[in-house]
Amino acid sequence: MPAPVNELKLALQDGHVQFGVWLTMASGRVAEIAGKAGFDWCLIDAEHGPNTLTTIADQLLALAGTEAHAVVRVPVGEDWILKQVLDLGVQTVVVPMVDTAEQAAQVAAAVRYPGKGSRGMGAALARASGYGEIVDYVSSANDQICLFVQIESAQAVANVDAIAAVEGVDGLFVGPADLSADMGFVGQMGAPEVLAAIDHVYARTLAAGKIAGTVLFDPADFENQVTKGVTFLGLGSDSILINRAFRDLVGKAPRS
C-alpha cells in the first residue's frame, strides 16, 4: 500500500486555483468548522500561532473528517520540526523565511527520504504510515510531498530565480507583511515598490513552472491575485474572521 495521494498537489500542478484559510488559534473545533466551510485547504500556523506538535495533531484529526486538505506552516525551516510534522501525516508544508537557494535546497532535502533527501526513517512509528499499516510509505511518500518556501525579504526577491530552480521546491509563497517590512515599508503592503516586488516573484515563479501562493485579507483583491497567476491563495485567518464577526454582531445590538 503506497502513501495517500496528495490531491491538493495534483490540483495545483494542474493549474486549479485552491482557496484556503489560516488557522492560528490552535483549536481543533475551529479547524473542524473551517474544514467544513468549503475551503480547499486549511493551514495550521505554527510560526505565529500558539501551536505545538500536540495541537497540530489534534487539528489534523479534526480536518480528517472534512474535505479540506491539511497544510502546516512550521515555525522554522529546520530538519527536526519538518520531520516531526511530516510524521504526523502532513503532506503539504510551508516554510517561512527562505532567503537563498541553499536554504531552499536544505529544506527540500529535509522533507524527502534518502534517494532524494535526508528525512529521518521513523515513519513505521508514526501517523503518516498509519502506524505501520502503509507498508510502502517510505518508498512512495516523496512524490506526495508538496513544499512551499516563503519569500519574505528583499534578499529572497533578489534570489528568486535560484530559489525557484531548486529541485523539490514545488511553490513559492509570498509573505507580504514581512516582505514589506524588510523593504522598509512597515505596515505598507500596498506600497508600489512592494507590489512590484511581489509581481516579480509571481512572474519568476510561474516562469520556472512552480506554484505561486500568498495570503490576503481583503476580498476585493482576491480576483486580482488569481489573474496574476496565484493558485494557492489564502483568504484570511480564523482569528481575524472571528474578530470581525463578533464586532459586527455586537455592533448590530440595539442599545438604549
Residue positions annotated with a catalytic role: 48
Q: How far is residue 10's CA from residue 212's CA, in Å, rounded to a whole number? A: 14
Alpha helix segments (H runs only) across the chain = 7-13, 28-35, 53-64, 79-87, 101-110, 137-140, 154-158, 160-164, 176-182, 192-207, 222-227, 238-251
Largest CA distance in the chain: 70
Contact residues for 161 (Cβ-Cβ < 8 A; gap 6+):
204, 208
What is the number of alpha carbons within 13 Å of residue 76 lying toward its C-beta? 4
Residue 93, all three cell numbers:
508544508
Please report, to the nearest 10 degrees, the dihedral formed by the alpha carbons of residues 89, 124, 148, 167 taken in order.
Answer: -150
